[in-house]
Structure 1
Amino acid sequence: MRFLLVNPNTSQATTAAMVGIAREAMPDAEIDGVSAPFGVPLITGPTELAIAHDAVLALMAARPPFGYHGLIVAAFGDPAVEDLRRTVAIPITGIAEAGMAEAAAHGDFAVVTTTADLVESIAQRAMAYGHTDRFLGTVLTPGDAHQVMADRKGLVTALLAACRRAVDDHGAKAIVIGGGPLAVAAREIAGQVGVPVIEPVPAAVRLAAERARRSTLLN
């Protein structure tokens, strides 16, 4: 199977990291990556998320995903997922959608992330995907997202502390790490929290593959 991972931000390094993680999650699949043609290297608020939405649509209009079995939108706001489903013939999967689905299977869950200005957008995604009864909210790392993410070791430490707060203070039975650019750090803290820590990129690969198989059977 072939999948296209679309990074809605402009960071080529983030795209490469997410593609690497996606390939590890499904070694038998061919997974290509592409970055947004315009926008910002890190989506930290609703304005950037709206720009990312337009960038993803522009990218897919210029480069239709011919020859792929599925498309993964790899930003946690799942920008343009609904619009793509109306215009693209292959299954579309968002990383927030996939991560929340896997977390909800374990019970009440929280999202842990670095971007305070996206808390409302995350809550809207949880509601849209039918997880209102299991979604406990978003737990944030302290400080400015850009500064936190610039220090790799500090990012891992901050995310791990936030995950533990989600469990101890909110009673989370599972945690989703909320952000494509957090994918590498998410991998490092998995297994250190005491509850399942869902990495959204591998979760999206698994869901995309399941949808591709179903689509093939139907056709």
Structure 2
Amino acid sequence: MRAGAPVRVDRTRAGAVVLVNPNTSTATTAMMTALARRALGPARPVRGVTVARGPEMLTDPEALRAAAPEVLAAGLRATAEGDCAALLVAAFGDPGLARLREAAAPAGIPVVGLGEAALLEAAAEGTPFGIATTTPLLADAIHARVTALGLADRYTGLRLTAGAPERLSADPVLLLDRLERAVRACAERDGARAVVIGGGPLGEAAEELRVRCAVRVVAPVPAACRAITRLLTE
């Protein structure tokens, strides 16, 4: 090594990324875990865990509030078991994120929220961004989250799909069609240059929309994985 050259310290932490699904759908946990494994690659194992109690979908503010302590409990169990390099809170509303981040800090375990990561990535370098999602009852919470992250000046607005979230989740073809319309409205009517798909359970649709839409679509699970990679290696 050349004398005086800076030494790069490898801060990579061994262990798995633990993906915590704040709803009780094990099928959704499996889907998001598969997306995270694809995003992180074979060098970083991913372990999916599902909260013990709560609804199968988080579609209103009360469900988000109720999920927060369940996320904290699941995250703490994961860290106690060992082999945990990072935690991913895998719901767009990031329930329990702040408390879990605080609890995991003494152990040096980073905690990333799916919504926070996707929004920050979409808005990077001042990019105007919108959000497309299926949950109208969470609109106010989404707007508040954007503001809390200091991104309101770049936010072009929220576009919601037509139809009940439960019905759309049961029909992947219809879900994709309605989400694509919402994404196109964000770009063509609102001027967004990036569109965040607002929901962990919408992860597979988000991947398809990245191919189908001309505007940059930010899929939340890969965005969270990129944030985790930066925290573990920078």
Bucket of the pairwise TM-score, normalised by the shorter protein: over 0.9
1:208 and 1:61 map into 2 onto residues whose CA distance is: 18
1:102 aligns with 2:118: no
1:208 and 1:126 map into 2 onto residues whose CA distance is: 20
Aligned length, in residue pairs = 214
1:115-145 residue CA offsets vs partner (Å, 9 max, x unmatched): 0011111112111222111112211001111
| Matching residue within 59, 66, 73 for 2:89 | 73
Q: What's the offset of the Cα at 1:62?
A: 3.8
Match in the other structure for 1:17 = 31
Residue 36 of structure 1 aligns with an amino acid whose one-letter code is V
Match in the other structure for 1:131 = 151
| Matching residue within 152, 156, 173 for 1:153 | 173
Residue 175 of structure 2 aligns with an amino acid whose one-letter code is L
On the 8 A contact 2:131/2:198 being kept in 1, the answer is yes
1:52 aligns with 2:67: yes
What is the Cα-based RMSD across aligned positions, in Å?
1.3
| Matching residue within 103, 109, 121 for 1:87 | 103
1:115 aligns with 2:107: no
SS of structure 2 residue aligned to 1:44:
coil
Task: Report the CA distance shift for 1:71/1:116 in structure 2 as closer, same or farther (over 3 A).
Answer: same
Match in the other structure for 2:8 = none
1:108 and 1:165 map into 2 onto residues whose CA distance is: 14
1:60 and 1:18 map into 2 onto residues whose CA distance is: 16
2:23 and 2:119 map into 1 onto residues whose CA distance is: 21
Match in the other structure for 2:3 = none
2:99 and 2:72 map into 1 onto residues whose CA distance is: 8
On the 8 A contact 2:20/2:75 being kept in 1, the answer is no
Greater shift, 52-61 or 132-141, is seen at 52-61
- TM-score scaled to structure 1, two decimals? 0.94
1:211 and 1:171 map into 2 onto residues whose CA distance is: 31
2:149 and 2:51 map into 1 onto residues whose CA distance is: 24
Task: Report the CA distance shift for 1:68/1:62 in structure 2 as closer, same or farther (over 3 A).
Answer: closer
Structure 2 residue runs of 5 or longer lacking an equivalent are 1-13
**Between Structure 1 and Structure 2, whose CA radius of gyration is higher?**
2
